[in-house]
Structure 1
Amino acid sequence: MRPARIAAAAATGVAAGLAVRVARSRHRRSLHPAGRSFAGTVEIFGDLLPGGPARHPATVRVSKGAGTRGGRLDVRGLAVRAHLPGRDLDLLLSTAGRGRLTRHLPMPRRTFAATYGTITAYRLGSGSKIYLLARPDPDGPAIGRSLGEVTPGDRFLLGMRQGEREVPIGRVTLGRLLSPGADAALAFDAVRNSLPGLHPAGLVHGSRALAYRASQRWRGVTPAPENPAAVARTVPG
């Protein structure tokens, strides 16, 4: 089976698991319930986003998929909301492998100092298919194992993979720690908070558009604004 098909099957399984968690939970996240959120910045190196190289304010959340304690094995999450002029851009990444196959699969890790990926594909304005990734900045502070050890000043480098070629595209820096209430109120949506020139693609992401809405309404938070155009451009893949 081709890696892309394996990744799609795995992501579909995740979506099915999410539906079960939604049905069983209330007033809490169905996935990645344990997390910490920070004010921060996203620095874009090239012309990936409108306006070219720039630094944007951001909201960043690090999390654990199953909510295990301390440095125990778990799928770690990195959610980045870049506050662009007039809109938000949400990027959701989780720990993944580094091999040709495993980089398309969520992988449990014992530390936040790991490789993260979007698992499934994004499309650029040109129509090219890419995958987004993130790693700790080697020139930044050491990132810890537990949620409490991820602190202001920690940095992640963003990149994109097209085929076997990786290109650095930016840097995320964590700033002030947000309150637990602010963390609980966050509602990321990588489908609706996307751009025509950088958006998730495929049926798996289309199913996530429904899952995001259901989960957020179920736990009583304000979901992302409606964006039918973003949902429509996601599904064809």
Structure 2
Amino acid sequence: MRIATTLTAAAVAAAVAVRVARSRDRRFLHPDGRSFTGDLEVWGAPAPTGSALLDRPGRHPVTLRISKGAGTRPGRADVLGVAVRVHGPVAGRRHDLLFSTAGQGRLLRHVPVPRRGFDATYDSILPYRSGSGRTFHLEVRPDPSGRPLGRTLESVVAAAEHDGARLLLSLADGAAVDVVGRVRFGAVLPAAQDAALAFDPVRNAPPDLYPTGIGHGTRAAAYRLSQRWRGAHPAAPNPAAVARTNPPH
């Protein structure tokens, strides 16, 4: 038993070492993905949230990336991801929103869940806090009126090429889920531009809508180290943004 445990631990360590070595040239997590131009149309939350992005109807340009967390083979189950960089509503300011495939409902939305296809529910996993002090989750899921995203990254690209790839943005508060906007995929970005993208939902977040909860200090450090390791340009230092993610005492 001890030998088997030792061999298993050695295999895991070797696998991690390989992933770390490979991450010198590509992302450690979500290595396989496609990035797009696009836009976010916000219709406005049913009740004020204290977030300018969610409360004010409008349309904002975005850069979005859809990806596989572990980089499994096409069509194989994986924790899938959607990253949305909103360029606005304040000019020149980035707002990064990250989502992973998760369970549904107020308990399971905290749990990342592998999925075979991209037509799934993606959750922020951890809650967001708005300017009013309210906390809630954010979700995206395929628009039923759009084209199916399919089971591979190439099928997502095909849907986007026909102007049919769309995601609905929702605010999930307890058992209530309110659709507040829609993300539309635009043109696919070149591979080099995809590789250079460096999302950071902690530092690239306004003070009226930011992730909150235990563990964000570690998450913030992990993003920065990973991006520097693979040669990407991380977000500018923002100690106040890192500090505010910690829950109030």
Q: TM-score range by the shorter chain?
A: 0.7 to 0.9
Counterparts of 1:113-152 in structure 2, within 5 Å, are 113-151=119-157, 152=160
What is the Cα deviation at residue 208 of structure 1? Answer: 0.7
SS in 1 for 2:215: helix
Which one is further off, 58-67 or 221-230? Answer: 221-230
Question: Given the alignment of the two structures, is residue 205 of structure 1 paired with residue 209 of structure 2, yes or no?
Answer: no
Question: Given the alignment of the two structures, is residue 236 of structure 1 paired with residue 247 of structure 2, yes or no?
Answer: yes
Q: Is the 8 A contact 2:106 2:174 kept in 1?
A: no
For residues 55-80 of structure 1, the C-alpha deviation after alignment (integer angstroms, 9 at most, x for no partner) is 11100000000101111111110000
Amino acid at match of 1:144: G
Q: Is the 8 A contact 2:34 2:189 kept in 1?
A: yes
Q: Is the 8 A contact 1:22 1:218 kept in 2?
A: no
Question: Given the alignment of the two structures, is residue 49 of structure 1 paired with residue 52 of structure 2, yes or no?
Answer: yes
What is the Cα deviation at residue 99 of structure 1? Answer: 3.8
Question: Given the alignment of the two structures, is residue 87 of structure 1 paired with residue 93 of structure 2, yes or no?
Answer: yes
What is the Cα deviation at residue 22 of structure 1? Answer: 4.8
Give the structure 2 partner of residue 10 of structure 1: none
SS in 2 for 1:148: helix
SS in 2 for 1:150: helix
Counterpart of 1:71 (choices 71, 75, 84) is: 75
In the alignment, the residues of structure 2 paired with residue 201 and residue 56 of structure 1 have an alpha-carbon distance, to the nearest angstrom, of 24
Amino acid at match of 1:236: P
What is the Cα deviation at residue 24 of structure 1? Answer: 7.0
Question: Given the alignment of the two structures, is residue 155 of structure 1 paired with residue 166 of structure 2, yes or no?
Answer: yes
Give the structure 2 partner of residue 9 of structure 1: none
In the alignment, the residues of structure 2 paired with residue 22 and residue 181 of structure 1 have an alpha-carbon distance, to the nearest angstrom, of 20
Taking structure 2 as the reference length, the TM-score comes to 0.83
Give the structure 2 partner of residue 6 of structure 1: none
In the alignment, the residues of structure 2 paired with residue 133 and residue 20 of structure 1 have an alpha-carbon distance, to the nearest angstrom, of 32
Q: Is the 8 A contact 1:192 1:224 kept in 2?
A: yes
Amino acid at match of 1:206: G
Q: 1:90 to 1:74 in 2, by over 3 A?
A: same
Q: Is the 8 A contact 1:37 1:183 kept in 2?
A: yes
Give the structure 2 partner of residue 31 of structure 1: 29
Counterparts of 1:107-118 in structure 2, within 5 Å, are 107-118=113-124
In the alignment, the residues of structure 2 paired with residue 20 and residue 201 of structure 1 have an alpha-carbon distance, to the nearest angstrom, of 32
Amino acid at match of 2:126: T
What is the Cα deviation at residue 106 of structure 1? Answer: 0.5
Counterpart of 1:179 (choices 190, 194, 198) is: 190
SS in 2 for 1:187: coil
Q: Is the 8 A contact 2:33 2:66 kept in 1?
A: yes
For residues 16-49 of structure 1, the C-alpha deviation after alignment (integer angstroms, 9 at most, x for no partner) is xx99955773121010000000011011111643
Taking structure 1 as the reference length, the TM-score comes to 0.87
In the alignment, the residues of structure 1 paired with residue 92 and residue 17 of structure 2 have an alpha-carbon distance, to the nearest angstrom, of 32
Which one is further off, 80-89 or 95-104? Answer: 95-104
Amino acid at match of 2:25: H
Amino acid at match of 1:181: A
In the alignment, the residues of structure 1 paired with residue 155 and residue 176 of structure 2 have an alpha-carbon distance, to the nearest angstrom, of 32
Q: Is the 8 A contact 2:124 2:139 kept in 1?
A: yes
Amino acid at match of 2:176: R
Amino acid at match of 1:102: L
Q: Is the 8 A contact 1:22 1:215 kept in 2?
A: no
Q: CA RMSD in A?
A: 2.1
SS in 1 for 2:241: helix
Q: Is the 8 A contact 1:64 1:77 kept in 2?
A: yes
